Structure formats: C-alpha cells, structure tokens
Chain A
Amino acid sequence: MGDSWAVDVQNVSKSFGDVKALDGVTLRVKQGEIYGLLGPNGAGKTTLIRLFVGLVEPNAGTVTVLGQRMPNVAVLSHVGYMTQTAALYPGLSVEENVRFFAAINDAEEGVKDALELVKLYDRRDSVVSTVSGGMRQRCSLACALVHKPQLLLLDEPTVGVDPQLRVELWEDFRKMAAAGTTIIVSSHVMDEAERCQRLGLIQYGKLLAEGTPDEIRATAGSTNLEDAFLRLAGSRA
C-alpha cells in the first residue's frame, strides 16, 4: 500500500440487502493517472465511487485513498466528487454554487479559475434553474474541482455535454492529470473510454478486465473497444 497509489481497493464487497453491488473487487489507480470505470448501468460503478469518498462502507475488504484508510473526513479536502446528476442548488447563481463548494473546502481563491476552466465565467450570474443541462453539468464540474483536488472522481461527467465541449473538457482533464491530479471517470460511452489511460471493466459487481484500451482490445481479440467490451462482458454473463 505505497503512497504512490491514489486509490487502492483490496478485495472489497458490498451488499445492499440481497443485492450484491460489489463482489471482491481489487483495483489500484496510480497518481496522475486517468482511470476509466466502464460498465453498464447498475454494474457497481457508482457504488465504487461512493466507496472512494466514504459515503458507503464496505462489508469486506479495504479502501485506501491518498494513503488514508476510508472513511476518513480529513482526506476529503483533497478529493473532488462530481455526482451523476448535476447536484447543485437551483436557486443560486452559477458563481454562488461554485463559491459555496469552494468555501466548504476553504478554497475561495479558486472560484475564478474553475469558472474559466468550464467556460462559464461569462454566465456566472445566471441562476442555475434557468440554464441548460450542459451548463449545469459544467457548473457541477467546476464545483468538484474548485479546490484543486489531488483526486477527482467524475461519475459520468459528460452526459448532456455537446461534443465540442466534451473534447475541450477532456483536454483539461489531460492537463490536470499531467500536473499530477488523479482522475477516475465512470462512463458507458466508449468514446470516453478511449481517452483513458487505463480502464477497468465492471459487470455484476466484479472487475472483469483491466488494462489500457489497447490491452483490453488485445485480450478480447477485437479491434473495436465497444465490441471488446461486449465480448468480455458476454463471456462471463
């Protein structure tokens, strides 16, 4: 469990009642890596991400984030979390939302940078309930990265974002990763998976395969990531 792992998940299982959401998952993410969690809806991606921030405690196994056993409140000031739905206060303006999440992380100086990064600085005074879904998603992202976290968790970040902005956001993710930020992205969009340095395929709460997009394709004997994913998922189902 060296400090070079941003996230270290060992043999984690988690059930909700009779439903086994995660079943013996072991997974490590290096610092500065962009890691993609890939899987169909209900595979356990969101549960895994919620384990990383201590919102869910495992029934078995250990979760270590930035060198700290989770749950741990102190480590959360170095973690940014963007939930699946744009969790924002609809009655506040874009800037007021970002400023609030900055304030609870003692990072108000980062508000302007975050707004500029997601290209919302000009629309900062718009009330969130009046803006488009894509803008809400960007605002939500700004809230997650305003305190310049070492680990950024993005649960399906580009749903509802137009292709051009998606390209721009990924450019920013890459820059942040190059500067040392670890990014874990969950997605079921193959186009996004292609942009990750490493992927973990999850289905029925199990990690089916792990590796770079090329390795995944090679394992499945396929030239296309979507096809590779369907083959790997199908072989276990």
Chain B
Amino acid sequence: MSHHRVAAITKRLLQQFRRDRRTLALLFVAPIVILGLLGYLIRGSASAPAVGIANEDQGPLGSTVAAALARSSEISTTSIRASDGDSKLKDGSLAAYIVIPPDFSTQAQAGTIAPEVHLEGSQPGTTAPVLQALQQALITLGAQGSVHVQPRVTYVYGGPGFDTLDYFGAAFIGLVVFFLVFVVTIVSFLNERSQGTLERLMASPLRRGEIVLGYMLGFAVLALIQAAEVLIFALAVLKVHNAGNVALIFGIEALMAIAAVNLGIFLSMFARTEFQAVQFIPLVIVPQFLLSGILFPVGSEPKPLQVLSDVLPLTYAVNGLRDVMVKGADLTWGSLQLDVGVVLGFVVLLVLAAVATLRRRIA
C-alpha cells in the first residue's frame, strides 16, 4: 500500500469539496441549524399546559389545594367556572381543567376525596404534567391524615387507551406521503433536465402548464395509491385511533401529495445533480418536520418559533389530519376549513411556482 496514492485520493476529495459550497454548507451549517432548532424547541418551551381550576368547595380545603396547584411549575393555572370548562377545552384555550367539588372538605374528613379531572386528551404530552401536579397538590392534604384519593378523570378526545401512536399516527400518515412523493418527484424531474429530455419537451408544442399538469397527474396516481396503502395499514393493522371521516383524511393526504409534487418540480430548478436534490431534505424537510407540531405542539413552542410554524404549510396539514382523526372534525369546523384552505392555497402557489421555474433555464 502506497501512502502517497492514498494521500492523493484524500487530497482530491478535499479539493472537490472546496469548490462545492453547497455540500460544505450542508456539512457545517445544517447540523447547527437543526440542533439549534431542536434545543430551542425543547429548552425554550414557553408554556406549561394551561389548566383551569374550578374550586367549588364550601369548606376550607379546596382553596388550599387550588393554591398548591397554582404554585406548581408543571402547569399554569387560571380560575374558571366548572360550566365553562368543556368549551374551553374544545376551543383549545385549556389543556385540562380540574373541578374541586362542593363537598370536598367533607370528603376529606370521610377519608376519600374525588376531584374531577377533565382532559382535552388529544395530546399525550400534556396529560402527564396535569396528573402529576394534582398528585403533588394533594400530598399536602395527605400529610394531615390518611386520605384516600380517587380522582375521576374524563377525556374530551381519545381516552385512557389513547397512546402516543394515536397522536403521532395521524400526522405521520400525511408526512410519509409528503416526504416520499417529494423525493421521487425532485429526482425524476431532475433526470428530465439532466438527460436532456426537458429541452426536447420545451422545443415541442407542449406548454409549460401541460408539462406540470401531466407530471402532477402521473405522480398523483402513484401518490394516491401510496396514500391509500398507508391509511389502510395505519387503520387496519396498527389500529391508529380514528374518530373522523376516512374520505376526508384521504383528501388531505392527496392535497399534501400534490403539494409535494409541485415542491419537487420547483426545487429541482435549484439542483443540478441528484446529490444536490437530496441535500434539500435537511434544509427543507427537517425544519418543517420539527416545527409542524408533529413532535412538539405548536402552542408549547417558544413564541418566535410559533410565528415560523404559523407560516409553514405542513403545520396546517398536520393540524388538519389530527383534528379529523383525533377529534373527529369535519368540514363544518372553522379550524379545519382554515387548515384545508391554507394547504389548498399552498398547492396553488406551488403549481404557479413550478410552472414559472420551467420558464427558460433548461439545460
């Protein structure tokens, strides 16, 4: 083995990268962006789950517990009336509310207390801190004697059997389709450019809109079969919780697939090789993935990131899928109309962008 020849290979490799700014950026900038984003998301989390406290106790103990809950760092509490609780859960302003019943002090003397815990239930991440905070608050009572605690827990959505997969499944169904369709489109459209056939198409009577529409339909066929397969697998095999209309879920998936096709065509403009196309994944897909609310609810993100999340289309797609599958939303819900509307608008925008990028720069 000649160390001279080995050194020649090593040197050539480093020389190549010196001129390849994009790869250098990918190697040294992308990790900082991704890790920084992740760190900010987790450490910078602004808000503990919002919990309403309805203290109806006619005795003294209720206010002791309410005060202990208000001191808890796990949750951020507000005082509410029990009758307002359910509507606040549904409009998303509360993640849970706790009702301390009128006979709470009496119960405590009898040895068994039963506070009511009402959970929104669609986000497993918020359920645990609420129950933990309640437990800690009740320890102050337990110290005064042997009191048996039997909280009555109810869920608006989901239920005790609702697990992490039920929560993530809904979003991942859409994400898998979006991601794979994007990768396949960007690579095959790039081939169309690099093998010279796009030049031929542009020198034919074909109009740009016809090319984009043809591509869209072709990939839509593949994407819809894939979307159906993913959906059936998730519902029938994984038994992911679904409270909504299957056709509606499929419709949102289809919109995401069409958006992915056009994003692929649009971005293929900015890549010359398949390698460069793959480089778009950490730059375009990963930040969207982190910020779309799939892993971390948008409401618990630091405020500046929430602004960013609010302008990313994937956020709305994920939210829409979740609303349908977890909460059983249909198109009469204002929130779902917004989600579907934003995704649709994004699709239109991407179609226009894809047509525009076909304009001239071809070879």
For the complex, is B332 an interface residue (Cβ under 8 Å from A)? no
- Decide yes or no whether B6 CB sits under 8 A from chain A: no
| Partner pick for A76 among B195, B197, B199, B203, CB 8 A cutoff | B203
A55 touches which of B205, B206, B362 (Cβ 8 Å): B362
CB–CB A90/B203 < 8 A: no
| A127-166 Cβ-contact flags toward B at 8 Å (1 or 0) | 0000000000000000100000000000000000000000
Which residues of chain B are within 8 angstroms of A85 by Cβ–Cβ distance? 195-196
Whether the pair A79, B200 counts as a contact (CB closer than 8 A) is no
Per-residue CB proximity of A68-97 to B under 8 Å, as 1/0? 000001101101010111111110000000
Q: Are A76 and B196 in contact (CB under 8 A)?
A: no
Chain B, range 203-233, C-beta contacts under 8 Å to A = 203-207
Query: With a CB–CB cut-off of 8 A, which chain B residues contact A105?
Result: 204-205
Cα of A105 to Cα of B362 in the assembled complex, Å:
20
Q: Which residues of A contact B285 (CB under 8 A)?
A: none
Write out the residue numbers on chain B whose beta carbons fall within 8 Å of the beta carbon of A143.
Answer: 200
Residues of A within 8 A of B197 (CB): 87-89
Within 8 A of A (CB), among B181-197: 195-197
Q: How far is the CB of A86 from chain B (nearest CB, A)?
A: 8
Closest Cβ neighbor of A82 among chain B residues: B200
> Measured between alpha carbons, how far is A53 from B203 in the docked complex, in Å?
6
Q: Do the beta carbons of A88 and B195 come within 8 Å of each other?
A: yes
Per a CB cutoff under 8 Å, which of A50, A76, A84, A90 touches B204? Answer: A76
Judging by beta carbons under 8 Å apart, are B202 and A55 in contact?
yes
Contact B205 A76 (CB under 8 A): yes
Q: In the assembly, what is the distance between CA of A74 and CA of B202, in Å? A: 12
Contacts of A57 in B (CB 8 A): 360
Contact B195 A104 (CB under 8 A): no
Q: How far is the CA of A79 from the CA of B200 in the complex (A)?
A: 11
Query: Chain B residues with Cβ under 8 A from A86's Cβ?
Result: 196
Q: Bound complex: CA of A228 vs CA of B360, how far in Å? A: 37
Q: Contact between A54 and B200 (Cβ–Cβ < 8 Å)?
A: no
What are the residues of chain A within 8 A of B362 when measuring CB–CB? 55
Q: Are A87 and B200 in contact (CB under 8 A)?
A: yes
8 Å CB contact of B199 from A73, A83, A90, A104: A83
Q: Size class of B's contact patch?
A: 10 to 19
Cβ-defined contact, A55 with B199, below 8 A:
yes
- A83: chain B residues at CB < 8 Å are 196, 199-200
Number of A-B pairs, beta carbon distance below 8 Å: 49
**Which residues of B (64-81) have their CB < 8 Å from a CB of A?**
none
Q: Select from chain A the residue with minimum beta-carbon distance to B210.
A: A104
> Is A101 close to B, CB under 8 A?
yes
**Smallest CB-CB separation from A52: which chain B residue?**
B203
By beta carbon, the residue of chain B nearest A87 is: B196
- Contact indicator A101/B199 (Cβ below 8 Å): no
Q: Which residues of A contact B331 (CB under 8 A)?
A: none
Nearest chain-B residue to A49 (Cβ)? B203
A141 CB, min distance to chain B CBs, angstroms:
12
Closest to A53 in B: B203
A101 CA to B204 CA, complexed, in Å: 9
* B201 part of interface (Cβ distance < 8 Å): yes
Minimum Cβ distance to chain A for residue B239 (Å): 38
State whether A104 touches B196 (Cβ < 8 A).
no
| Interchain CB contact (< 8 A) of A73 among B196, B200, B207, B360 | B207
Q: How far is the CA of A55 from the CA of B159 in the complex (A)?
A: 61
One of B195, B201, B205 near A90 (C-beta < 8 A):
B195
- Residue picked from A57, A77, A79, A104, most chain B C-beta under 10 Å: A104
State in angstroms the CA–CA spacing of A50 and B196 once bound together: 13
Q: Which residues of B contact A55 (CB under 8 A)?
A: 199, 202-203, 360, 362
Task: Please name the residue on chain B nearest to A143 by beta carbon.
Answer: B200
A73 to B201, CA, bound (A): 11
Task: Name the CB-closest residue of B to A75.
Answer: B205
Residue of A whose beta carbon sits closest to that of B192: A89
- Identify which of A84, A87, A88, A104 contacts B206 (C-beta below 8 A): A104
- Please pick, from A74, A77, A81, the residue contacting B200 in the complex, using a CB distance under 8 A: A81
Q: With contacts A87-B195, A89-B195 known, what are 8 further pairs, Cβ within 8 A? A: A50-B199, A55-B362, A73-B205, A74-B205, A84-B196, A85-B196, A88-B197, A143-B200
**Which 7 A-B pairs rank lowest in CB-CB distance, beginning with the nearest?**
A87-B196, A53-B203, A77-B205, A81-B203, A87-B197, A76-B205, A87-B200
